[in-house]
Amino acid sequence: AQKVTQAQTEISVVEKEDVTLDCVYETRDTTYYLFWYKQPPSGELVFLIRRNSFDEQNEISGRYSWNFQKSTSSFNFTITASQVVDSAVYFCALSEANNAGNMLTFGGGTRLMVKP
Amino acid sequence: GAGVSQSPSNKVTEKGKDVELRCDPISGHTALYWYRQRLGQGLEFLIYFQGNSAPDKSGLPSDRFSAERTGESVSTLTIQRTQQEDSAVYLCASSLVPGQGKDEQYFGPGTRLTVT
């Protein structure tokens, strides 16, 4: 069965610091998809990124970057020069291709607090 | 365009009563999902609809939970004889056809259910 672990339940940083959110996953499938979502205080989940298991190329989008390593089953998320608006709960999620519905298995989330 | 909408945004009900939660997916999205998020936790998958196929109910926690979907539009999640442990935020998500490489799920704002 699939599983996603976000060992960091809460992280607090000061604005402009870099911060990395860890995500480790378990799956028996060779084809799967990994996601990160942001849940700000308003509560609505915001899609950030989708990565498929065949694409290990790291991705950068502005201050966000993602490091996917199949060898360690990790899909870590780094925010560079954090800002107060980055304060939110961040969820890593997994879906397996052989699961027709592609329903998501979520980690427990990491609450990021960025202080001014 | 319009995102996923859910109603009501908040619902307070007495233990033992039935409740109905509604979800309007993004137009053109054939897949619809319901998830539950208990306070301070990650999301748990409940049920999945895809077109006219039989729904995947594997995540429903008990037979008090049921859901329907009208074609590829509105869905309702019904909880009968509510219990206090049903208190949570119920999130609906929709996506284009899963497995087609565009299966990011977009979430609604959720319905916060409180059972007293």
Show residues of chain A in contact with B95, CB under 8 Å.
102
pLDDT tens track for B73-95:
899 999 999 999 999 999 999 99
Q: Give chain B's radius of gyration (CA, Å).
A: 14
Confidence of residue B99 (pLDDT cuts 50, 70, 90): low
Asked if the Cβ–Cβ distance from A47 to B33 is below 8 Å, we say no
Phi, psi of A68 (to 5 degrees): -100, 120
B→A interface, C-beta within 8 Å = 31, 33, 35, 41-45, 48, 50, 56, 59, 89, 91, 93, 95, 98-99, 103-110
Q: What share of chain B is helix, strand, coil (3-state, %, to 5)?
A: 5, 45, 50
Number of Cβ within a 10 Å radius of residue A92: 29
Q: Is the pLDDT of residue B102 over 60?
A: no
Rounded to the nearest angstrom, the gap between the alpha carbon of residue A73 and the centroid of all alpha carbons in its chain is 13
Helix (H, G, I), strand (E, B) or coil at A76: strand
Q: Is the pLDDT of residue A34 over 80?
A: yes
Selection from B98, B31, B22 nearest residue A35 by Cα = B98
Percent of chain A with pLDDT over 70: 97
A→B interface, C-beta within 8 Å = 4, 33, 35, 37, 42-45, 47, 50, 91, 93, 95, 97, 100-109
In chain B, the residue whose alpha carbon lies closest to the alpha carbon of A10 is B40
pLDDT tens track for B4-37:
999 999 999 999 999 999 999 999 888 999 999 9
**A46 in Cβ contact with A86 (< 8 Å):** no
Helix (H, G, I), strand (E, B) or coil at B44: strand
The DSSP H or E segment spanning B4 is: none
Establish how many alpha carbons lie within 13 A of residue A26's alpha carbon, considering only the half-sphere containing its beta carbon: 5
Asked if the Cβ–Cβ distance from A102 to B108 is below 8 Å, we say no
Confidence of residue B71 (pLDDT cuts 50, 70, 90): confident
Residue B109, pLDDT score: 93
Residue B50, pLDDT score: 87
| pLDDT, average across residues B43-49 | 93
Helix (H, G, I), strand (E, B) or coil at B104: coil
Asked if the Cβ–Cβ distance from B59 to A103 is below 8 Å, we say yes
The CA-atom distances, in angstroms, between A21 and each of A7, B5, B11, B58 are: 9, 29, 33, 30
pLDDT tens track for A53-102:
888 888 888 999 999 999 999 999 999 999 999 999 999 999 887 776 77
Rounded to the nearest angstrom, the gap between the alpha carbon of residue A4 and the centroid of all alpha carbons in its chain is 10
Helix (H, G, I), strand (E, B) or coil at B80: coil
Residue A96, pLDDT score: 85
The rounded distance, in Å, linking the Cα atoms of B26 and B30 is 9
B41, B45, B89 ranked by CB distance to A104: nearest = B45
